Structure 1
Amino acid sequence: MADFAFDLKPKPRTALIPPPAAVSLARSLITELANTWHKGSSYPLGVQAYSRKLLGEKWFARISIHDEPWDWFKAGICDNHSQNEVDYIDTFESYSEIDPGESGWKGIHARYRLGFPLSIREMPEWILAIQPDPDVKEFFVISVPADVPVSKNTVRGRYASIEYLQELPDGKMKWTMAFTSDGGGFIPRFIQNLALPSTIAKDVPKFLTWAKKKYAAEQS
């Protein structure tokens, strides 16, 4: 575990740690977020942004609380995570599997089309989507960069994130997401970072709109 960190260094499969250890590290980061991270702007739907430096990288985070049912978040974010993101994140063009994930970690190439004049970004990732205890309504989705080649004519991007969803005592859902990224290419990191808090805040209404259409229709 000592050699593993939530950073932007691309990792071979051999560097990945067992799911329980990854969950333990992720839980520690999420637990301290609201108390020790810098509080930033607030956004619609009660989304609160945060930021801090972590392992030399600028991290951003958001926390929001929702009335929508657990099943929407579990099915939409934890189950078939990347497949669903393609449907509600505008710039997420497609993904392909590079490793089936027998150990819990699944490898993917995520492709993002950011629009002219920017090149297509490809972000190889290891993703662990896990509900640690089937009797407890909480799950983690952990992503770290994968050390595998990217496709021709694309720019390599790097991305690390932790998403955590938990049911609160009052039955509401608390959604926490923390991440750091480098899109690569010619855009300086400080310029990229300016847009990231509002970008991840907008993902909340995008997901909820998509989930309502998909799951409310299925339940009716």
Structure 2
Amino acid sequence: MSYQLTITPAKVSELPSDETLLALANELLQTTDSWKKGKLYHKTVQTYSRSKGPNDGAPWHARVSVHAKEDATFDEFWSKLGQNKAENEKEFIDAIKKVTEVKRISETQTIYTLYYTFPPPVSPRVFTVLQTTYLKEDTPKTGIIVSVPVDLSEDPELAKLEEKGTKGRYVSVERLLELEDGKTEWRMATSSTPGGSIPTFIAESSMAGQISADVPHFLHWFHKIRESS
């Protein structure tokens, strides 16, 4: 298996298959509990990290949180994270200003480009990823979302859909797992680079807090739309 989960982007003509990404995602997820344990955020979000390995373009960071049905059921989590994930993220992550569907490859694979803005002096960032989803509906219900960076340069028509900005790159694996007591475990691992001139140590030092903040941001947004429906 030559493809690796890394921040090195794949060309459009060489995108990995669902099967390849799912196998790599499961392999990575099984190791996260052995990573270095970090801070606990928001009383519920445990963070982990792994230093950069020989095949990695950047270090890895992970977070794990467990949620009762009052937060969201497995099906509710999946409806927002396993379907239209990029568009939904724009609703609860302030920095994402625009999401464009570049190409729908299949029911489970889509290329998106996401445009982020940040307070000065940081310039806007553009992240283009292939998102792959997998859902296992028998017990225990399991949903996996894999996002890997894509280089659109060999396809000028697709490349036109990217906004202007510094190109960042990230790879992420998320798993939703329904536990025996009906709660849902939400586990995420990511490796990234913001691109541009931001020093690596600054970007890395803020990662645990940033990825942990996505959990309360998601729940706050989800409860607002849950109450209004």
If the TM-score is normalised by the length of the shorter chain, which range does it land in? Answer: over 0.9
Which letter maps to 1:105? Q
- Find the aligned partners of 2:152 and 2:26 in 1 and give their Cα distance: 27
In structure 1, the residue matched to 2:132 is: 128
SS of the equivalent of 1:116 reads coil
SS of the equivalent of 1:85 reads helix
- Find the aligned partners of 1:45 and 1:208 in 2 and give their Cα distance: 14
Cα deviation for residue 103 of structure 1 reads: 6.7
Which letter maps to 2:46? Q
Aligned length in residues: 215
CA contact (8 A) 1:45 1:64 kept: no
My pick for the range that moved more, 61-70 or 48-57, is 48-57
In structure 1, the residue matched to 2:156 is: none
Normalised to the residue count of structure 1, the TM-score between the two structures is 0.92
Q: 2:45 aligns with which of 44, 47, 64?
A: 47
Q: 1:111 aligns with which of 112, 115, 131?
A: 115
Cα deviation for residue 109 of structure 1 reads: 1.1
CA contact (8 A) 1:52 1:59 kept: yes
- Find the aligned partners of 1:139 and 1:13 in 2 and give their Cα distance: 25
CA contact (8 A) 1:165 1:173 kept: yes
CA contact (8 A) 1:49 1:201 kept: yes
- Find the aligned partners of 1:156 and 1:66 in 2 and give their Cα distance: 34
SS of the equivalent of 1:146 reads strand
Cα deviation for residue 39 of structure 1 reads: 0.4
Q: 1:71 aligns with which of 75, 89, 100?
A: 75
- Give me the CA root mean square deviation: 1.6
Cα deviation for residue 153 of structure 1 reads: 4.0
- 5+ residue gaps, structure 2, are 154-158
**Distance verdict in 2 for CA 1:20–1:152, change over 3 Å:** closer
Cα deviations by residue, 1:148-187 (Å, 9 ceiling, x for unpaired): 1464641000010001000001110000000011111111
Q: Identical aligned pairs, as a percentage?
A: 31
Q: Does 1:143 align with 2:154?
A: no
Cα deviation for residue 102 of structure 1 reads: 2.1
CA contact (8 A) 1:72 1:215 kept: no
Give the 4+ runs in structure 1 shifted more than 6 A: none
**Distance verdict in 2 for CA 1:32–1:152, change over 3 Å:** closer
SS of the equivalent of 1:6 reads coil
SS of the equivalent of 1:184 reads coil
Normalised to the residue count of structure 2, the TM-score between the two structures is 0.89
CA contact (8 A) 2:126 2:164 kept: no
- Find the aligned partners of 1:48 and 1:91 in 2 and give their Cα distance: 23
